[in-house]
């Protein structure tokens, strides 16, 4: 009788302890699949640097050195492409594109990096409009990389070589901008990723400053975290970022060959990846995107592929046989 009682107490302790442990550790992700490989054929990549998931569940990959965006279903089956490996500067042509964002209506927004502009395409990949051009005045760009769509249908662009964030309407009308080269409250050094929370807060991967900065909707800095390093919450040239609906921020930590994820206030929650070219390993990942099913899609840039991670199922708690 006493033995059964002790087993019951132990089981109850485990049941009470596990939820707190799980919350402290955050979600756990494991390798699911991958596709791609070095090359210019359909379904292959050359140093891809951007990725997004559309409302239709399709995966949009900025195939940078092939000057195109390739579109796949969630299993990696090729659907279509925007641009071509010849590249170009005409309407609908791309030259070393990087960041990609997809609006709720399916419109595709592309940071056309070496053409110093943003191009917009219809859900079926037909050219719609563009804005920008080379320069440092408002509305112009110098190698824009990250792009995101926020509340109010505003488009946020990491104008990387101008060390600033610019904000536009979806039609391309300039709204505001902030940032300059530096390390202070308004300073950036090559910002390359941007994400926007539901409340309008703007998260920026300040790449060469090895940190994440957070601003309110008007561009006033709220807080920041991160220093250069390889520990939890430290970064090695963070690049693309993406925010989940619950406020969890995923960061492509390039030089540390991993993805880190944090709560909205910067509290470290977990990491996955690791240096290499095997399943689930990464070599300087440049961007990350989130599927509605919980999957995490990573452009594994120097391995020329997309690597997919999925949430790992929690271990079930089994009661001892003596209690059954």
What pTM was computed for the model?
Answer: 0.90
Q: Mean pLDDT over residues 18-25, rounded?
A: 37
Assigned token pair, 72: 């796949």
Give the separation between CA 107 and CA 126, rounded to whole angstroms: 10
Task: Tell me if 168 sits within 8 A of 154, measured CB to CB.
Answer: yes
The residue ranking higher by pLDDT, 29 or 317, is 29
In 190-207, which positions are buried (b, 16+ CB within 10 angstroms) versus exposed (e)? bbbbbbbbeeebbbbbbb
Residue 78's pLDDT is what? Answer: 98
What three-state secondary structure class fits 19? helix
pLDDT digits (tens, 9 = 90+) for 104-153: 999 999 999 999 999 999 999 999 999 999 999 999 999 999 999 999 99
Residues 82-87, mean pLDDT to the nearest whole number: 97
Q: What is the pLDDT of residues 262-313, one digit of tens each?
A: 999 999 999 999 999 999 999 999 999 999 999 999 999 999 999 999 998 7
């Amino acid at each position: 009788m006493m033995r059964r009682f002790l087993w019951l107490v132990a089981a109850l302790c485990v049941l009470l302890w596990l939820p707190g442990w799980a919350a402290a550790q955050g979600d756990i992700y494991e390798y699911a699949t991958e596709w791609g490989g070095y090359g210019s054929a359909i379904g292959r990549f050359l140093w891809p640097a951007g990725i997004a998931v559309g409302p239709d569940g399709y995966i949009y990959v900025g195939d940078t050195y092939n000057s195109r965006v390739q579109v796949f279903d969630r299993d990696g089956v090729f659907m279509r492409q925007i641009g071509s490996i010849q590249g170009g500067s005409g309407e609908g042509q791309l030259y070393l594109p990087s960041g990609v964002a997809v609006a709720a209506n399916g419109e595709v927004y592309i940071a056309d990096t070496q053409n110093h502009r943003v191009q917009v395409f219809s859900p079926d990949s037909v050219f719609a409009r563009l804005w920008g051009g080379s320069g440092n005045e408002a509305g112009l760009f110098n190698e824009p990389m990250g792009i995101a769509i926020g509340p109010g249908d505003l488009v946020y662009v990491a104008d990387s070589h101008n060390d600033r964030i610019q904000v536009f309407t979806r039609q391309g009308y300039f709204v505001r901008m902030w940032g300059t080269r530096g390390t202070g409250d308004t300073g950036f050094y090559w910002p390359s990723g941007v994400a926007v929370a539901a409340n309008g807060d703007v998260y920026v991967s300040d790449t060469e400053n090895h940190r994440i900065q957070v601003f309110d909707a008007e561009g006033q800095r709220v807080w920041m975290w991160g220093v250069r390093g390889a520990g939890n919450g430290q970064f090695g040239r963070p690049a693309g970022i993406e925010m989940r609906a619950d406020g969890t921020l995923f960061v492509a930590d390039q030089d540390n060959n991993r993805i880190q994820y944090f709560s909205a206030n910067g509290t470290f929650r977990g990491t996955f990846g690791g240096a290499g070219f095997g399943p689930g390993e990464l070599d300087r990942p440049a961007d990350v995107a989130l599927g509605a099913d919980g999957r995490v899609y990573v452009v594994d840039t120097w391995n020329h592929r997309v690597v997919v991670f999925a949430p790992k199922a929690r271990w079930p708690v089994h009661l001892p046989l003596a209690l059954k």
